[in-house]
Structure 1
Amino acid sequence: MEAARWEATVEAQIRAAQERGEFDNLPGMGKPIPGRDLPYDESWWIKSFLEREALPSDLLLPTPLQLRRKIEQLPAEVRDLPTEEAVRAYVAALNAEIMAWLRTPTGPRVVVRPVNVEQAVQRWRSERQQAGAHHCAVTAPRAPARRPTRRWWLPWRRRAGQRAGGEEPTAA
């Protein structure tokens, strides 16, 4: 009996909202439901959330696989760091994450080892030297381009001998 009264109240509120036009012009109105013809996927809401929020799918990986991905991407991550100390700090932070996981491993049993700081720094140095040599070789033959000077003339100040139409007087 109580449920019937509650349902009647809710239905009355919905009808009143429809009459006021609160359900008109909603986004997606008159369009087909996306993914209706696709087979059922249990993780549809996770996939739609990742797409909608533009999050990387790496967040779904277990911790050891995330750490291995970070180790693989280490050269690209440290390539643009300005100093050796910054590279060492980045590798130290990654090693701290790895050690924290090794103390209390969760997820699948995947071998993850700390990164050798000296090897990472040596690779960073060699990539910087190669990039510097390539940059010097590419930029050395170019001569500096001469920028044309721009002259500004105020309309009420004309050069001596210039006519109102913007023409120079011609010698006859």
Structure 2
Amino acid sequence: MTERKPPGVSFETWADRQIREAEAQGAFADLPGRGKPLPNLNAPYDEMWWVKGKMRREGLSFLPPSLALRKEAEDAAAAVARARSERQVRQILTAVNEKIEAAIRRPPPGPPLNLRPFDVEQAVARWHEGRDGEAAEAADGGITGGGSGTAAPRRPWWRRLRPT
């Protein structure tokens, strides 16, 4: 604890003296951010900056559990597109299906879940179709034959996973 400001001494002079003495004793020599710019100095002010920073450091989610699970399901659908093997597709979808089924049994707080487990067999079949289409396109050199040259745009495969 620091000493109290003596009467008759201006606060600015007293504070400056305290800082100068602490610097001379080396109190500021080994601070973790010494010599580095302040983080987020140019960012707009946010009243909850410390809460958001703490949540980021702790790995907590900003979303309610039901929305976080929806996001995870979307990420799983995108991961299936990048999967290299059928086994990997099954692992990804099985993992997210377990979480969805648990959430259906005991609904999490927040907005409604509105999710159903993925049909793994159907997803694997579509994954195979996508792989076969890529292989045929690569064999053609990317050129499709016949027709007017304009094909109707196909919906992305992850949109086809969910029944409409």
Q: TM-score, normalised by structure 2?
A: 0.56
Moved more, 13-22 or 79-88: 13-22
1:117 aligns with 2:154: no
Q: Taking every aligned residue pair, what percent have the same amino acid on both sides?
A: 30
Query: Which has more radius of gyration?
Result: 1
Matches of 1:74 and 1:30 in 2, distance apart? 39
CA drift of 1:93 comes to 1.2
1:8 to 3, 14, 22: 3
Cα distance change on mapping 1:128 and 1:75 into 2, 3 Å: farther
Q: How many equivalent pairs are there? A: 128
2:26 to 15, 21, 28: 21
Maintained 8 Å contact 1:79/1:128: no
Please, what is the CA RMSD of the aligned residues? 4.0
Q: Summarize the Cα distance change of 1:66–1:23 in structure 2 as closer, same or farther, 3 Å threshold.
A: same
> What is the alpha-carbon distance in structure 1 between the residues aligned to residue 135 and residue 20 of structure 2?
71
Tell me the equivalent position of 2:74: 72
Shift of 1:38: 4.2
Letter in 2 for 1:20: Q
Residues 69-120 of structure 1, C-alpha deviations (whole Å, 9 max, x = no match): 2222333201233332332222111110111222222221321211111221
Residue in 1 aligned with 2:90?
A: 88
Specify which of 63, 66, 69 is matched with residue 65 of structure 2: 63
Q: What is the CA distance between 1:36 and its match in structure 2?
A: 8.3
Letter in 2 for 1:41: E
Residues 24-60 of structure 1 deviation map (CA, whole Å, 9 limit, x = unaligned): 5964669678558945522x12444577x6x7x9x32
Q: Which runs of 5+ in 1 are unaligned?
A: 1-5, 140-172
Q: Hey, what's the Cα distance between the residues in 2 that align with 1:90 and 1:30?
A: 41
What one-letter code is carried by the residue in structure 1 that aligns with 2:93?
V
In the alignment, residue 109 of structure 2 is paired with which amino acid? G
User: 1:126 — aligned with what?
Assistant: 129
Question: Of 105, 108, 118, which aligns to 1:106?
Answer: 108
- For the residues of structure 2 that align with 1:89 and 1:33, how far apart are their CA atoms? 39
3-state SS, counterpart of residue 126 of structure 1: helix
| Contact 1:64-1:112 at 8 Å conserved across structures | no
Contact 1:99/1:114 (<8 A) preserved: yes
SS of the residue corresponding to residue 73 of structure 1 reads helix
